Structure 1
């Protein structure tokens, strides 16, 4: 256990000595502020009319109130998180190959499973911290806009939906680590993330999103036009199986594949 904690500490040092935390933090900062801008446009029709095309696009997300705003945040973390969370985990795993430090890493007196688990936990913790940051900033922006329908029950429900969507999206990042390990870098996982994001939209439109893991977080957020719902049992099983497959397969790859 001490070795695992030490490995996590080292992984965090690697992470924060890079520009990845700053890049991902600034990228996610856009979510609450863009959402707040849309709410502002909807709340001030005269300003929206002056902008013209902005008002038309803003109508897609509904009215200027807390339920619409929190739903928008949940949808953004579900869809955008597939890319940002995937980017984080692909860097954490892929950098060892790109920087040619994989041999030095495997020469340490640590099991390969411990190394992989430390990388996963580091990426999960940072992704969840980013999600929490987005939520807190989003709540602050919502209060500054003085949005209506902000009862404790409505806000609490929106926070729960956001937390569920963020957690499910983070769990779906494990297959990216496998692709980064097999591809020995960043390019393969980038292509994989774009492919799954596009396919998720197509499958959701076709009506089978509940059975495709990368569509499930967006469906849970209400992105399909329906109300956000608690994830169905079959969808949750599929998503957890996909996450477990990515995690265990990555561990097996690092243990059995030739890393030289």
Structure 2
């Protein structure tokens, strides 16, 4: 457990010094800022949530998690990492936990910034119930998006970089936009966040159990396959 915590701390420190994290945060804050003034609080926060249910989640989370794994190859530090007296499974787990924690932290920061800039813009009617309601909706969307990062980190490991997984993320975004309005969309993992966003106006968990199992299984498959790749692949 101590070695796993050490790996999480090391990866978190790497991320805190990365231009990717701070560039992502700047992008999140900018997008939240330009959406201010669009109606009342429900409209404004709904637009913020929609961005996280689509491009900010699918592409933003993918960029951060793929960089966490892919940079080891680009910076030629991969073999040095494997030489550490830590199991490869803990290395994979430490990277995953740290990167997903930062995704959640950036999302929470962006939401808090949205509340602040909305109040500065003079939008009236903000209540504690409204904050809790939209923060819970955003949390559920963020969890689904983080699960979908499983295939992303697998591609980052297989391709030994972060260009392929980012291209994959843009591809999934396009697929989600095309099939999202069709009956097939309920079975596509990348459409589930948008369906969750659209349906959560009536209930926090509006989808069927099968719809939630799809991203869970997708994420688990990606994470387990990544662990297997790092554990048994012939790294040269």
The TM-score bracket by the shorter chain reads over 0.9
Q: Pairwise CA RMSD of aligned residues?
A: 1.7
Quick check: 1:221–1:228 contact (8 Å CA) kept in 2?
no
Give the distance between the partners of 2:17 and 2:136, measured in 1 at CA: 33
- Corresponding position: 1:114 with 2:98: no
Secondary structure (helix, strand or coil) at the match of 1:150 reads coil
Q: Secondary structure at the match of 2:211?
A: helix
Aligned to 2:235: 259
Name the TM-score, length of structure 1 as normaliser: 0.84
Q: Which residue of 2 aligns with 1:17?
A: 17
Q: Among residues 143, 168, 189, which one is paired with 1:167 in the alignment?
A: 143
| Structure-2 separation of matches of 1:217 and 1:168 | 6
Matched, 1:139 2:137: no
Residues 178-197 of structure 1: matches in 2 within 5 Å?
178-197=154-173
Structure 1 stretches lacking a partner, 5+ long: 40-63
Matched with 1:45 is none
- TM-score normalised by length of structure 2: 0.92
1:71-124 deviation line (CA, Å, top 9, x unaligned): 111111111221111001110000111111111111111110000000000101
Confirm whether residue 215 of structure 1 aligns to residue 191 of structure 2: yes
SS at match of 2:234: coil
Q: Which residue is 2:49 aligned to?
A: 74
Deviation at 1:34, TM superposition (A): 1.5
Distance 2:179 2:167 in 1: 18
Task: Say if 1:175 and 1:243, in contact at 8 Å, map to a contact too.
Answer: yes
Aligned equivalents of 1:165 and 1:159: distance in 2?
Answer: 10
- Contact between 1:90 and 1:186, CA under 8 Å: does it hold in 2? yes
Once residues 228 and 256 of structure 1 are traced to their aligned partners in structure 2, the CA distance between those partners, rounded to angstroms, is 46
For the Cα contact (< 8 Å) 2:92–2:226, is it kept in 1? yes
In 2, are the aligned partners of 1:31 and 1:134 still within 8 Å (CA)? no
Give the match for residue 59 of structure 1.
none
Higher Rg: 1
State whether structure 2 residue 66 is matched by structure 1 residue 85.
Answer: no
State the alpha-carbon separation in 2 of the partners of residues 246 and 186 from structure 1. 15
SS at match of 1:214: coil
Counterparts of 1:30 and 1:218, CA distance in 2:
21
Match of 1:56? Answer: none
Report deviation, 1:191: 1.4
Is there any run of 5+ residues in structure 2 with no aligned partner, and where?
Answer: none
How far 1:148 sits from its partner (Å)?
Answer: 4.5
The answer to whether structure 1 residue 99 and structure 2 residue 79 are counterparts is no
- 1:49 maps to which residue? none
